[in-house]
Amino acid sequence: MTIEAGQPGTGQLSAGHAGAERAGAPRRPLGGLGRVALGRAGRAALLATGRAPVPDAIEPIVQAHRRHHPQADLGLLSRAYRTAEASHRGQTRKSGEAFITHPLAVTMILAELGAGTTTLVASLLHDTVEDTEVTLDQVSADFGPEVAYLVDGVTKLEKVDFGAAAEAETFRKMLVATGDDVRVMVIKLADRLHNMRTIRHMKPASQVRIAKVTRDVLIPLAERLGIQVLKTELEDIVFATLHPEEYARARSLVAAHEAVPDALLEPFAAALSRQLAEAGIAAEVTLRPRHCVSVHRVLLKRSAAPGPDGLPQGLHPADFGRLLVVVEENADCYAVLGELHTCWLPLPGEFKDFVAAPKFNLYQSLHTAVTAEGGEVIEVLVRTRQMHRVAETGVVALGDPHQPGGQSAGDELDRTDPARPGWLSRLLEWQQETPDPDAFWSTLTADLSGDREITVVTEGGETLQLRAGASCVDAAYLLGEETGHRCIGARVNGRLTALSTVLRDGDVLGILTETGLSGPVPEWLAHARTPGARLAIERWLADHPAGAPVVHTGRSADQPLPPPPPSARRGAAPVAVPAFPGAPVRLARCCTPVPPDEVTGYLIRGGSVAVHRASCPAGERMREAGRGPLTLSWVPDAAPPSGYRVTLRAEALNRPRLLADLTAAMSAEGVGIISADVEPPQELRVRHTYTIELPAAAALPVVMRAMLRVSGVYDVCRPQPAPPGEPQSEPQAEPRPGPGAAAPRSGGGSGGGNEDDRLGPGVRPSWGIHGRSAAFSDHRSVSGTRGPEG
């Protein structure tokens, strides 16, 4: 049913009807003339205008075509029909009908969709090259290279040449041709629809095989091209072929509902129409019945959810259809939505705006659901007339891409990509990497199995279209193969997350990468859902066997080489104690002082001087015990016999081979690793604490920079002991990405044989390198002067 709503007195009539009413002439019923008389009158009218008559067989096609394209070249259609009829003469289909009925039926489907003249000509000729003596060169010479390209795109490859791979290679050929002209796949879909309408004449085994291919490949392609009218009919025929009992049940429920007056949706449509008219919104309210497959899906959903009595639910009256409101302009869509949500109670979470953010298949509409009297939930779709045409016929409604005013000449607000949909571009990319027909076919069906896509926005503002169920790994490789290989982590909606995290529609994604990463690991294949990501990972793993890992921990290309450290006098006292000249000096293991740290000395047993950093809590305890601090100074170019012992902490995103890469980076700088402590990962972050021996104090910033260049490491610092009883905390002046990690265990080794040199109960960062740039957080630390202490 259709109900017109709008301003009183603004109902629009066609020009013919309006003129008849103005002239006061009575309307002649459409059945006043017989079919034969109408045909003769039409031919007479054509002859009177000097236009050549068209063959009787294509008159219905011409009439349907004229409704969408009044200025179409009928002579070209007539020539195409005569060529097809002469070529197929004597051939019959399995139903016993003349073969020419098939191209005529396919062309009629396309004409009703609104396809252009070139598409209809190619449709009439689409089987001539495959099944007759007509060659592709002849088609090109008689009808032009554009028609020949479309005919070639839908022509099957011979089994005698390709054997069992013929079907897979035929679809590969069609997809490649579709990448240049989507009309190739439109003709193929119409061809398959007519074949499915007559599938009852095939053998049972052939019926099942064809229905499965249609279900796995053709229906998803129709969905992605937005041709909803073809998709729904194909779904019902496939459903009836593969599941006849379930189809019969759904069909009987639909028939039973249609046999009684609609007591819910039709009254609601009338009420909505009146409300929109009172609000001054010109709109057309239509009841849209669900087709059999849709009813079956709703039935399964109801059966899985027990009702108040604990028993499976049956279908509700509102489950058999939805309301469609068609308006003139985009702004009217939101006006209708306002009236709906004002006059009826909307259901939370049911509103979806595909007008501002169209779906991947060009679809645009507002979706909402409201509660009617009695508690029934009614779904309502709101769209403009242009949106409705695109929603029904997809890319066909946008015209021929190679004609002036075609697909590229749309509304500036129409956020669609008709010439090369994103999903098709991605499919064409990975199919080139899959030469094996079996692998191509399995990958194609897997890629098309997802019945919907999601939209993810990168932190840089780029929009990514991914299949539902895709993970951060898929998004990384969608941004580029190199980006995927260098990926070390992800941030979703501002929080660090695992690469295996499944993305949801509307997520804001940040991919964390690092130059020189050794590439993906086999575990990523378990999280990759898109063919492009899987093929890239498999290709990299094949080129880099597991036994030969590639580690890139050296300096980046744009990082200048640091100056060589000054020669140090090994064995000389590194600290001068003016109050006790010649006294033995011991550098404390708890705070690991290194020039140019501010240090203080304390006299300990045996007459030695323990050197602590000025803020070390162990020194504070000795001061509280009555030991007076001693004034110290660093001796230039001096170093302990075994070098300076330093404790460093690295904060990183957890990944395989991180420990190996960090130790390799430190060893490459000529330092010795005394001990290493790796804490269990928390919230995808891991903390490594190393105690190393430096040949000279000047080597410390060099080692820290080398550690920071390791993929995944985002912070390198020197820990400082915390006072007894003080909880571990992060410095407020240096925020970290993500939540704080747990307090680390001591990472400086043993106390060195002296109770005054033991580590404190906790540590906290002092100064270090933070962020992804290899720069110190305080520039004074680069020059070697004292840095901030805690």
- Return the active site residues: 130-131
Q: What is the rounded distance in angstroms from the CA atom of residue 115 to the CA atom of residue 126? A: 15
**Token pair listed for 159:** 């089994």
Q: What angle do CA 631, 633, 638 make, to 5 degrees?
A: 145
Q: What is the rounded distance in angstroms from the CA atom of residue 4 to the CA atom of residue 12? A: 10
Q: Which residue has the tokens 């990944």?
A: 655
Q: What is the rounded distance in angstroms from the CA atom of residue 199 to the CA atom of residue 191? A: 12
Q: What is the DSSP string of 732-743?
A: TTS--SSSPPPP
Q: What is the rounded distance in angstroms from the CA atom of residue 780 to the CA atom of residue 261? A: 85
CA-CA distances (angstroms) from residue 338 to 58, 258, 285, 333, 616? 47, 31, 16, 9, 66
Q: What is the rounded distance in angstroms from the CA atom of residue 713 to the CA atom of residue 657? A: 12
User: Directed axis angle between helix 437-448 and helix 166-180, to 10°?
Assistant: 60
Strand 377-384 relative to strand 366-371, pairing: antiparallel
Contact 139, 148 (CB under 8 A): yes
Q: What is the DSSP string of 437-474?
A: HHHHHHHHHHHH--S-EEEEEETTS-EEEEETT-BHHH
Which burial class, exposed, middle or buried, applies to 276 when counting CB atoms under 10 A from its CB (0-12, 13-18, 19+)? buried
Residue 411's contacts (CB-CB under 8 Å, 6 or more residues apart) are 386
Which amino acid belongs to residue 409? A
Q: What is the rounded distance in angstroms from the CA atom of residue 322 to the CA atom of residue 264? A: 11
First to last CA, the chain: 75
Segment (H or E) for 285: strand 283-289
- Count of other CB atoms within 10 angstroms of residue 234: 24
Using the Cα atoms of residue 689, residue 693, residue 695 and residue 696 in order, give the sign of their dihedral: positive
The closest alpha carbon to 588, from 447, 472, 707, 748, belongs to 748
DSSP 8-state secondary structure symbol assigned to residue 264: S
SS3 annotation, 403-434: CCCCCCCCCCCCCCCCCCCHHHHHHHHHHCCC
Q: What angle do CA 679, 685, 686 make, to 5 degrees?
A: 25
Residues in the chain: 790
Contact 455, 465 (CB under 8 A): yes
Phi, psi of 5 (to 5 degrees): -125, 150
| Cα 453 versus chain centre, distance | 6
Helices (H), 279-421: 292-304, 330-343, 385-393
